[in-house]
Each structure stands twice: as C-alpha cells, then as structure tokens.
Amino acid sequence: MKLIVRWLLLAAALLLVAHLYPGVTVASFGSAMVAAFVLGLLNTLVRPLLVLLTLPVTLLTLGLFLFVINALMFWSAASLLEGFAVTGFAAALIGSLIYSACGMVIDVAVEHLFARE
C-alpha cells in the first residue's frame, strides 16, 4: 500500500513540475504515472551504474555531477515516453531538481503516514 501511495504522489509531483516549469510537459495523469514508474526504474537500475562509472568526476566536482546524472535520468525517461516531454538539458536539470525536492517531501510524508507506533 505504501508503494502505491508513493507512486501516485510522485505522479502528482510530476504534474506539479509540468505546471511550475514550462520546459516539462505531461499529457495526463496516466502519462505521469507511467513516467513516474519509468523514472523509478531508471533510478533503480541505471543510475547506480552511472554513479559508479562517473565516480572520479563526481569526487572532483564535490558531488555536483550527481545533478547532471539526475537530469540525464529525467531526460532519458522523457525520450522513452510519449506523454512526457522535456525541451532540453536545462529543462531536464530544473525539472529533476523540482521533482527531487518533491520526492524528498513525499518520502517524509509517506514515512510519517505509515509510521508504526
């Protein structure tokens, strides 16, 4: 149940990103749900490999290169899907920053909501 609630909230966050920043467009809530799922898959499967491969650059930039990796994941998800579009790398960077901030808030809220006392 926790996973489904988190997925729905992340899809809503993707719609919020599209509403706040004009460089990101999402066609519908269904497209946002698919995009949130694909983003989750990319972040789970591909991102760790990219982080490992770019570790020297990440260390050299004191971790700032991780923002580039997040933007690449956001941009790749948009290139794979029909109802989710990003106009360029700058839009992917800003969109991924907003989406990550929303994701952190959602994680805290979901943990608080499903906390066992």
pLDDT at residue number 5: 94
Q: Collect contacts of 65-72 with beta carbons under 8 A, ≥24 apart.
A: 67/93, 67/96, 67/97, 68/93, 70/96, 70/97, 70/100, 71/95, 71/96
Answer whether residue 115 shows pLDDT above 90.
no
- Per-residue pLDDT tens digits for 6-62: 999 999 999 999 999 999 999 999 999 999 999 999 999 999 999 999 999 999 999
- Exposure string of 65-86, with b = 16+ CB inside 10 Å and e = fewer, is bbebbbbbbbbbbbeebebbbb
The pTM for the full model equals: 0.91
pLDDT, mean over the chain? 95
Structural domain span for residue 52: 2-113
Domains identified in the chain, total number: 1
